[in-house]
Amino acid sequence: MSNIPSKEEMLDALVLRQGAQNVQKLQAATVAVCGLGGLGSNVAISLARAGVGKLILIDFDTVDITNLHRQQYKACQVGMPKTEALSQNLKEIAPYLQMETHFARMTEENTLALVAHADVVCEAFDKPEAKAMLVNTVLEKNPEQVLVAASGMAGFDSANSISTRKVMKNFYLCGDGSSDVNDGIGLVAPRVMACAAHEALTIVRILCGMETEIAKKECKNGK
């Protein structure tokens, strides 16, 4: 750990790739990643690398051997809470990232408090009922918060069938919309990662003001 670059060195390197204004906006942002499986662990690492300042990491589960084929954990982390394992891995990748972890199952009761300080909420669960709960709760109770969700990334189909669409103001949905893991088609690492990359890029675009609704909202707030 002795050769870790300084925060300034890392930010300078990032500015060369992404531009100073974008890096500044990303550094000031907080994203809540809800679920740290195949989607969430990949989203979190992408956002950390892109320079997002703070991540709120939420999951109730521990790392299982069946997770290792597609989730960003190591074999030596089996049995560890995903919040702890992922924050360890993120610390190695992005040592100056701020993190807040919640080893908890999200419910209608605790969701709003857990994501209250996030600029963007990322839905990254695996169960459709949990996905619907989070989306309904955030959109109903906190309609000004931006939500990026995912549905449909199972199987071996082409990654080209995965897309991002804006369903309504402040609600973006990534995925193919239909390939259901419950149909017994399984989850394949690169396709889940493709969907996670859609979510992460959408979040980066939102935070950088490249999605029009957000740009309008920021103007109104005088930011």
CB of 7 to another protein, least distance (A): 32
**The only residue of 25, 82, 131, 198 in contact with another protein, by rule CB under 8 A:** 131
Distance between CA 98 and CA 27 in Å, rounded? 10
Q: Shortest gap between Cβ of 222 and another protein (angstroms)?
A: 25
The 16-55 site mask, x for binding another protein (CB under 8 A), equals: -------------------x-xxxx---------------
Indicate the pairing of strand 163-168 with strand 171-175.
Answer: antiparallel
Q: Which stretch binds another protein (CB under 8 A): 2-10, 17-25, 83-91, 127-135?
A: 127-135
- Name which position in 47, 150, 203, 204 contacts another protein (CB under 8 A): 150
Smallest distance from another protein to CB 109, Å: 15
Helices 7-18 and 20-27: angle between axes, nearest 10 degrees: 130
Q: Which of 15, 133 has the CB closer to another protein?
A: 133
- Maximum C-alpha span of the chain: 49
Q: How far is CA 3 from CA 53, 54, 55, 88, 95, in A?
A: 22, 23, 24, 18, 12
Q: SS3 for 62?
A: strand
Q: Is 112 in the site for another protein (CB under 8 A)?
A: no
Question: Which H or E element spans position 121?
Answer: strand 120-123
Tokens matching residue 83: 């919040």
Residue whose CB is less far from another protein, 80 or 132: 132
Tell me if 63 contacts another protein by CB under 8 A: no
| 8 Å CB contact between 160 and 173 | no
The three-state secondary structure class of 67 is: helix
Q: Segment 173-192, which members bind another protein (CB under 8 A)?
A: 173, 177-182, 187, 192
| Binding site residues, another protein, CB under 8 A | 35, 37-40, 124-129, 131-132, 135-136, 139-140, 143, 149-154, 167-169, 171, 173, 177-182, 187, 192
